[in-house]
Amino acid sequence: MGIVLHIVGLLLLLLVCLVALASLLLGLPGTFFIVLAALLYGWATGFAAVHWSTIGWLLLLAVTGEGIEFLAAAGAAGERPSRRVMIGALAGGIVGGMIGTPFLFGVGSLLGALVGAFGGAALAVVWEGGTPGAALATGCAALRGRLLGFVLKSAIAVVMLVVLVAAVL
């Protein structure tokens, strides 16, 4: 009976981690969901396979991934974006992600965040008196930054899964 529970626990951990990875598409902090899943699995197994050091590394990776995503989304709106442009890109990304969530089975959240970052940064440039060309260039930079942040955070989440799988096997 013990081996069956162990296999069920591993499959449940894998399922939760895959859902956490997919939650990144919805703009959710899936990296922290992976840390939570590892913590619960470790607790349920008496920390036999997933030790506190593993959870610490996963937490460090999660914070790094979320930080990179934030910095890429905020800082890539131009070479030296103004505070208003950074806030516009961040706010536009959040609003766009919320608006896009019901579309394309949740993938619209990512697309909405990208379009929202573009729109928010471009509007901020226009608000500051910039030209339409500058608004377009800044909006494109914000979109690229948001996409880069998503890709890097997703890559870190995959590394987290590899670390977790290596710990439990």
Distance CA 4, CA 13 (A): 14
- Tell me if 29 sits within 8 A of 156, measured CB to CB: no
Distance CA 10, CA 20 (A): 15
pLDDT of 63 reads 96
For residue range 68-122, what is the model confidence (pLDDT) as tens digits?
887 877 666 555 667 788 888 888 888 888 888 777 776 788 888 888 888 888 8
For residue range 9-52, what is the model confidence (pLDDT) as tens digits?
889 999 999 999 888 877 788 899 999 999 999 998 888 889 99
> What residue spans of the chain are helical by DSSP H?
2-23, 30-44, 52-75, 83-100, 108-127, 132-168
Distance CA 72, CA 89 (A): 11
Distance (Å) of CA 54 to CA 10, 65, 148: 16, 16, 27
Domains in the chain, number:
1
- Look up tokens 């894998």; give the residue: 14
- Tell me if 132 sits within 8 A of 30, measured CB to CB: no
Distance of CA 46 to the CA centre of its chain: 29
pLDDT of 163 reads 94
pLDDT of 77 reads 56
Query: Containing domain of residue 48, as a range?
Result: 2-168
**pTM assigned to the model:** 0.80
